[in-house]
Structure 1
Amino acid sequence: MSFGWNRRLVRQIYLDEAGTSANDTHAVVAGPVVHADDVLIPLQTHIHSLVEEFIPKEDHNSFGVFHMTDLWNNGKYFKDKSVWTWEKKKPIIDALTDIPRHFKLPIVMQFIERSSFVEEHPELKAGDVDLAITAIAFSACEMVAESLMRSVYQDEIAQIIAEDNDHTRKLIKEAHNSFRDPRKWADNEMGTDIFPFRHIQNGVLFAAKGESPALQVADMCAFFIRGHLRGQRNSDQYYNKLKPWMCVFPKGEAEYFPSLRPSYPFGPLVMVYGE
């Protein structure tokens, strides 16, 4: 008896969040879609090689992960600005933001605008707003991922791996399990067939960035998409490196450059956010 297992390849979708503080204009969830068999191990090896290339040898064992907030803002390991000048940090940022192109990784993303959500829900306290918009952005990003699987990887299944975060884990798990449960969508009145998920299987796996190096790519994606949304033009050169690999764009933005189409043949799923 053949179950066709040899044809059910697996994509691992790594998601991380950015914009969870009250000062942020948007909550963003984003990350790469990684072929588990062909790409995952080379990607992990590549990230480890960046540590060997850019971090002093005496710190290799103690260095944690490439966390873009720390790298960009001289935090934690990179806090000494006299050592970690912009000239020294830039090659690291260049290498990290080149990963989607190098490994041809689609990037799924979605976001929630904080001010619009607060206007709709004035009864919520600041902490509840942070929790809600992050969980909603995560759910919306999963919907993009399911749409990508249906459109492009129709004979494959997907596993979601997320940054382990205490404050949103429960809501994310509840929503994710609901999206996969056919019983909850028997009388679907939402006007969409995205539920129940067909390609995204199993529960969400939660991991630390050190345990799952691809989450460092997700962290980088979420960081620069959030920076773009809040108008940080000094980081747009890096957002523009990610844009050709993004499946959806913020509202009003033009599609990816046609010259890159051969490397990303399926293009974005929708042209603008919300349409």
Structure 2
Amino acid sequence: MSAATGHSHDPVTPYAFDNDAPHADELLGSLGEMCDEYTTARLDRLGVAEGARCLEVGAGAGTIAAWLADRVGPQGEVIATDVKPQHVRPHPRLTVMRHNVAVDPMPAGSFDLIHARAVLQHLPQRREVLARLAGSLAPGGVLLVEELEARWAGAVLDTPDPRAHEVFAAYEDGIRAVLRANGNDPYWGRQVHAAMAASGLTRVETEAWQRSWHGGTGVGLLAHFGSRELAPQLVQAGMAAEELRLLAGISLDPRVVMLGIPLLSTSGVRAE
């Protein structure tokens, strides 16, 4: 999750979340816990060869960038970019770059793989950015764009507190309003397939992924820390303070079981 400048409402990079926030590291960690097992399996199936040159856009905590760096070996290279990259852990084959994909020039050269997760949906220029990423691929290179859908209503599968269903329905309404106010398109993930095809990529494929999590893990932590960071905006969007208090507790309750919010994963290949 490339979380950067939302609190200043920068019209260029209006992310709702902020890597400088007190719990940003925990929020990014929960995103990785929820999604990394799928993302790495998807990348493995797409193929990451030794010696490959890779670009990780909006690297967040850097977990996927580090996985790529392990895969490409000593002859490969991975560049990890973020507007605020301070949470990316060092790795001997990882170059970390402060970079705004919406306005800054792309890193020089062409890439065998470019990956962006929960980034483009936050950008008003998302289609233009996707086209630029596609144009930065080497012949035969792969672009993988993954986006989350803020579907919290109906996510609760099992709970000792029946109020959980209503609280997470209210959270979906609130967070969607906050995201839209910051330029996020909650349905962008379903438009990536057509956007990749329009940019000239071939063999475009989309997959969707979810699994269940107990409170205090994965999606529960994502809700807990996300709602804490966005609490003022969520209240402004109509959530009651009592609903936020309930959500904070329910999301950590190990007796609660929740379905992770959907991750839509779309890949395309540049023609050789």
TM-score, length basis structure 2:
0.30
Q: Which has the higher helix share?
A: 1
Q: Which has the higher strand share?
A: 2
* Higher RCO (C-alpha 8 Å, min separation 6): 1
TM-score, length basis structure 1:
0.29
